[in-house]
Amino acid sequence: MKLLVTGGAGFIGSAVVRQAVQAGHEVVNLDALTYAACLDNLASVADSPLYQFEQVDIRDGAAVAACFQKHQPEAVLHLAAESHVDRSIDGPAVFMETNVMGTFHLLQAARTLWEGQGRPEGFRFQHISTDEVYGSLPSDPEVMFTEDTAYDPRSPYSASKAASDHLVRAWGETYGLPVLLTNCSNNYGPYHFPEKLIPVIILNALAGKELPIYGDGSNIRDWLYVEDHADALLTVLQKGTVGRSYNIGGENERTNLQLVETLCAILDRKRPLNSGSYADQITFVTDRPGHDARYAIDPTRIRDELGWRPSVTVEEGLERTVDWYLDNSAWWQALQGRDGVGERLGVKA
Ligand SMILES: NC(=O)c1ccc[n+]([C@@H]2O[C@H](COP(=O)([O-])OP(=O)(O)OC[C@H]3O[C@@H](n4cnc5c(N)ncnc54)[C@H](O)[C@@H]3O)[C@@H](O)[C@H]2O)c1
C-alpha cells in the first residue's frame, strides 16, 4: 500500500515509518521539520526505495494539496502536530494553526484526491489523536476512557487535538471520506524527544541533575511503548472499520513518581553511582497549571474487534528505553541545544 505519513520525522511518526517500510509499504513522509523533528530517526530506512521525504508544512494548504496530487497515496496516517502540553500553555497559537487548520488542509487535500479518483473504497484517512481529549479521570480504577467517553479537553494542546478529531469525523459524515481515528495514551521508547518526562529523567539522572516531578507525582498515566503503538496503528489501518475510533493503551497505569522510581532502579543497576541511588536526585517542582490527574484507557474495543494487545509491560519497555539512551548518546546530545529543551516550560499561566 502507498502510505502518506505526516509527522514522520517525529517520535511516533518515525516508528510508524520504520515499521511500515519494513512491512513492505511504500511511504511518503510529509514533515515540516519543526524543532521536534529528527531525520536521524529514519536512518534505517532513508536509503530504501520504498521511502520518500517531502518537507511540507501542513499549515500551507496549497503545498499539502500539491503533495497529495504528486504522490497519490492510498492511505494517510496523520501524526503531524505540535505535541508538547507545556509549550501549548506558553504559546497556544501554533497549536491551533498546526493541529486544527493543518488537519483541515489535509482533509481537504485527501477529499479532493479521493473524489477525483472516483471515491475508491479502500482509501483511508487515519487520524492519530490522544486520550487527553477525554479530560481527567478520578482515581477509581474501574473508571476508564472508552471510545464513548465525552470529550472534555483541558489544555490548549488537548483542545486543539479534540477540535481536529471533530473535523475528521465531520469529513467522514459529511463527505463520506473513509476516516479512522485512534486515541492513544502516553508513549515512550527510543527516539523520544528530550523534552518529555522519560528522556528528561534518564538524561538528568546521568548528568547528576535534579529529577523534576510536577506536583506530588501522584498523576497517573497509562504508558504505551512506541513500537507497540506503531504496530497498533498499522493494525487499525488494515483491519479497522471505517468511521470508527479505537483507543490504544499500554495497560500499564503508573503514577509519575512510580515511573521515575522504576527508571532510577533500572539506572542503579545499569550505571551504578559510587554511592546512593539516582532516586536521591528526585525533586518535586511546581505543578503544571490544569494538570490532569489520571488517564486510563479501556482497551476492550481494539482487543475484541481487532485482536490487538500491547506486547510489553512498562518495566520491559523502560528497560529497553534506558538501554537505547545509554547506547545512543550522539542522538540525544545533538538535540539538547534546541530551542527550549532543558528549560522548565508551561508555568506562565
Ligand atoms: N507522544 C505521545 O505520548 C502522544 C500521545 C498521544 C497522542 N500523540 C499524538 O501522536 C502524534 C505524534 O506525536 P509525537 O509525540 O510523535 O510528536 P512529535 O512532536 O515528536 O513529532 C511531531 C512531528 O510533526 C511535525 N510537524 C509539526 N508541525 C508540523 C507542521 N505544521 N507541518 C508538518 N509537520 C509538522 C514535526 O516536525 C515532528 O516531526 C501527534 O499527533 C500527537 O498529538 C502523541
288 alpha carbon to ligand 1 midpoint, in Å?
20
What atom of ligand 1 comes closest to residue 38's alpha carbon? 39
User: 62 C-alpha to center of ligand 1: Å?
Assistant: 21
Contact residues of ligand 1, CB 6 A cut-off: 7, 9-13, 31-34, 36-37, 57-59, 79-83, 98, 102, 128, 130, 161, 184, 186-187, 193
Q: Which residues contact 166 (CB under 8 A, 6 or more apart)?
A: none
- What are the boundaries of each domain within the chain? 2-192+226-250+292-311
Catalytic residues: 131-132, 157
The answer to whether 228 and 310 have CB atoms below 8 angstroms apart is yes
Q: How far is the CA of 9 from the centre of ligand 1 (A)?
A: 9
| pLDDT tens, per residue, the chain with 349 residues | 999 999 999 999 999 999 999 999 999 999 999 999 999 999 999 999 999 999 999 999 999 999 999 999 999 999 999 999 999 999 999 999 999 999 999 999 999 999 999 999 999 999 999 999 999 998 888 999 999 999 999 999 999 999 999 999 999 999 999 999 999 999 999 999 998 999 999 999 999 999 999 999 999 999 999 999 999 999 999 999 999 999 999 999 999 999 999 999 999 999 999 999 999 999 999 888 888 899 999 999 999 999 999 999 999 999 999 999 999 999 999 999 888 787 778 876 5
What CATH number matches the domain at 2-192+226-250+292-311, 3.30.2010.20, 3.40.50.720, 3.40.50.10950, 3.40.50.2300?
3.40.50.720
CA of 86 to the centre of ligand 1 (A): 14
Q: pTM here?
A: 0.97
326: left (phi > 0), else alpha (psi -120 to 50), else beta?
A: alpha
| Cβ proximity of 121 and 275 under 8 Å | no
Please state the atom number of ligand 1 nearest to the C-alpha of residue 102. Answer: 31
